[in-house]
Amino acid sequence: MFTLFLRESKKVIFSITFLILIAAMLLMALSQDVLDFNDREIEMPFSGQSYGMQTKEIPEIIMPAAITSLYSEYKANSYTAYPIGFYKNVKLSTKEQQQVAEILSMITEISLEELVNSVNTTTHNGDRLIFENGKELASDDGEVMITMPIPNNDSDTVLLVKDELTYEKFKSYMKQVDKLIGGGSNYSKTMLLNFGKVPITYKEAIDSYFMIKDKDHFSGAYARLFSDYLVTVLSILPVFLAITISLKDKRNGIHELIYTRKTSSVKIILTRYISIITAIMISVIIISYISNMSAWSFYDGMKLDYLAPLKYDLGWILPSVMISAAVGMFFTELTNTAIGVAVQGLWWFIDINTGKAEIISGYSLFRLSPRHNSLQYTQAFNDHFNSLIVNRLFFIVLALILVAATILIYEQKRRGRLNGKFKSLIKKTFANMANSKSKSAA
């Protein structure tokens, strides 16, 4: 089996597709500044600095901010949405606008009649939304004060959030609004949290620094950010390599000979699959250590986790490489075509674009490319770590199921069954679609 592994590995390593994959990885790392961290030292914060903003689920902040946004979009009948990750401007019908107005009247003190009139009479130049009864929110250490403004002239539109409105009820109303818009709006469950922007306090900045120092040992934070970017390209590129290798024998005219050899189908498919995964992952590990080592000099005398790049490569990136390669091999063996590119490409395209809303701790079960687009937020990573484990195990199991299915198909072909059937079916399907279009055009 080792001889077979060396033979398959040689095919992989010396293929143009593999060289393109390596170049794409390097290009991604370079373009996103994660190949060289020389100018990205994680420093201990000092009092009096600005520490950036963060998102928190604070109802007192989210509700008025979301209602302000909704009222503005309602008046303009212009709603922002990202149904599959791409910007879309949505204009609602008269009936749908009426439903939005009804929801606004139920969560504010403005009557339905006033809302309808505001659309008919208000110009959008300089019109302002103000929440009455300004509220102040202070952090525990007293450093941050957030004040909701109160109206100061007669031209301001005054919105009063109903006192009896609970946060849970508010979220249910926003869910209705999101459905009216078509999904992916600012009022969806995920995007709604973006209205909860608050400054990071000094205490939080200090806590974050020591989490990185004590839990990530610095190198873990860099390895995580490297994985965040690399997994996006390694969720799609392995499918090309798997298809190239799987079709290579057929192009060379020796696939019939392989079918008649005594080597078992299990050995042939597993060896091919393992050689693809091994070649890719060795490259990933080398590049990840080059990346991580560029930051080590910042932390002389401090404890570093020198295995962090390897841990993230195997735990974060490997499952995505496995599923991408498995999809390529399965569909190539099933159809004798490169249709696996379309399947994986569509999946990847949807995943990347819908994942834009979850770039920190985006570890939902079906997330092909887990996201953590920051050197910070170690606590958020730890809080969602179990979700990440479940996600990665799910893709490992799914990949192995596809490999097992590929072995079964390969074995059937060696016995003279299935050959060309699926390919003929695909051609017939596309031919029928073309004929239908021709008839409808005529």
pLDDT (tens digit, 9 = 90+) per residue, 1-34?
A: 788 899 999 999 999 999 999 999 999 999 999 9
Alpha-carbon dihedral angle through residues 372, 285, 314, 36, given to the nearest 10 degrees = -10
Res. 195: pLDDT tops 50:
yes
Among residues of the chain, what percentage have pLDDT more than 90? Answer: 63
pLDDT digits (tens, 9 = 90+) for 310-321: 999 999 999 999
Res. 278: pLDDT tops 60:
yes
> Which residues 6+ apart lie within 8 Å of 145 measured at CB?
136, 137, 138
Average pLDDT over residues 411-419: 77
**What length is written for the chain?**
442
Q: Band of the pLDDT at 184, cuts 50, 70, 90?
A: confident
Closest listed residue to residue 322, CA positions, set 394, 217, 425, 223: 394
Give pLDDT, residue 133. Answer: 40
- What are the angstrom distances between the C-alpha of 378 and each of 33, 186, 209, 212, 218? 20, 26, 9, 6, 10
pTM: 0.79
Q: How far apart are CA 135 and CA 149, in angstroms?
A: 8
DSSP-based three-state secondary structure for 85: coil
Res. 144: pLDDT tops 80:
no
Average pLDDT over residues 324-339: 95
Phi, psi of 148 (to 5 degrees): -80, 120
